[in-house]
Structure 1
């Protein structure tokens, strides 16, 4: 398929950028990259947003040329995520729903208990949520708190395990838990890891992959050859694990 680029002046007038792949218009946002990084990074998120991170000095024409070069890949990524989203039913937080934890599915059981403490328990293959009065918003809030608490425990354990492989890390980095719509994790310039609590819904190897990915950024701050060489050393099958996590992303990020 041929790729055509919408003129930059027209796009900026509309508040964004777009290009056409075949007959389909694909829109994307441009965000600035960390100073000193020269590469243009293109990401397609599970909610079908396309984000292009580019150095401040890169012209719009250069950004559009980079997007044009990856047009087929962007189109196929969007096609895959749209197919996933088409089969996702919005959460209602009622008994009988299926929710994930550490890669396994658990049935949700909502129990109305006016005189008992409200909370979440994982019992006999079910996620039991006790509420004083049945309310979808309350069940959602309790589940959100439970996932965040579990993520702190699980991520701390997996970080300790991954540090045995990350020999370049001198001190145990601090972890921040933050719900994000389009990221599993990030690493700040001073080495603090930020992890998405919804990652705790994924299999352990996926959690390990994200933690190792961010630990590699302590040594390699961008996605250059050195970064991928380091990832290959500590997790030879990281690409397979990434594909697995990407395939679950639309489902796992569909709210708590």
Structure 2
């Protein structure tokens, strides 16, 4: 079974549904190692994912009852997230727009150059400059997309090499990996141990890239989202929860989803 890190929801085992009136939402249940005597807590992440943290001693009926009591609160927050995402506008690929790269914003500059046969795309002094002849939004988008992929190949490889050196189960080799555009996932780990990474991740800060890489590398030894899996994340990236929350909060902008995905 392929394990993966979702961009807007966690589809791993441990997902349950709750009905409140004529509405329903789903939540992901996590038994975290640190939750020994703590109470059951319900979280609504900025991307709309509902997560429930519970101590390992809590029974499923107890957990479901706790979530049911918070259902109205959860739905209120989900409505606010949906309203906020309603105004996420897809890029037009024209001069003056913001382009994201490694967590920073740059200004897109489209430059018509009739004498230039091949379109170029370069990051120069705070601008991502696309230069060529007969440029239109489609050609500009293609040029920026190719630039993103080239940068992603370089950055992902370097961050992956640095990370495997710090993990005891990956010091022998860098796992095989490739890129694939995905609508709901930042990355995944296949049964044969190879990684798939979303090229849109290159728009996020390097710490977020490290989190996604670590998440998938942890799946090489813990194939499910078990307490041991979260224990590995806690050990090698203690601040992973805040990094994930920020990354998920910008999922709509980074993934450039069409409106029917909101």
Q: TM-score band (shorter)? A: 0.7 to 0.9
SS in 2 for 1:185: strand
Corresponding residue number in structure 1 for 2:7: none
Q: What TM-score, normalized to structure 2?
A: 0.71
Uncovered stretches (5+) of structure 1, i.e. residues with no partner: 1-17, 29-42, 51-61
Compute the displacement of 1:91 (Å): 1.0
Extract unaligned runs of 5+ from structure 2.
1-16, 28-43, 51-59
Q: What are the superposed Cα offsets for residues 184-203 of structure 1, whole Å, 9 maximum, x if unpaired? A: 00011111010000000000
| 1:21 and 2:20 matched | yes
CA deviations on 1:160-204 (whole Å, 9 max, x unpaired) are 111122211232101101111110000111110100000000001
Q: Give how far 1:77 is off.
A: 6.7
Preserved contact between residue 84 and residue 251 of structure 1 (Cα < 8 Å): no
Which 4+ residue blocks in structure 1 deviate beyond 6 angstroms?
A: none
What does 1:33-52 correspond to in 2, within 5 Å? 46=47
Superposition RMSD in Å? 3.2
Contact 1:112 1:134 in 2 (8 A): yes
- Asked if the contact 2:106/2:127 (under 8 Å) is kept, the reply is yes
CA offset digits 1:85-127 (Å, max 9, x no partner):
2332221100000010000000100011122120210001001
> Per-residue deviation at 1:69?
5.2
Cα distance per residue 1:192-225 (max 9 Å; x no partner): 0100000000001000000000000001000001
1:94 paired with 2:99, answer: no
Q: CA offsets per residue over residues 50-108 of structure 1, 9 Å max, x none?
A: 9xxxxxxxxxxx9xx98x95884974674454244233222110000001000000010
Report the Cα distance in structure 2 between the residues aligned to 1:196 and 1:137, rounded to whole angstroms.
21
CA 1:86/1:110 → structure 2, altered by over 3 Å: closer, same or farther? Answer: same
8 Å contact from structure 1 (residues 20, 26) kept in 2: yes
Question: Taking structure 1 as reference, are residues 243 and 129 closer, same or farther at Cα in structure 2, changes over 3 Å only?
Answer: same
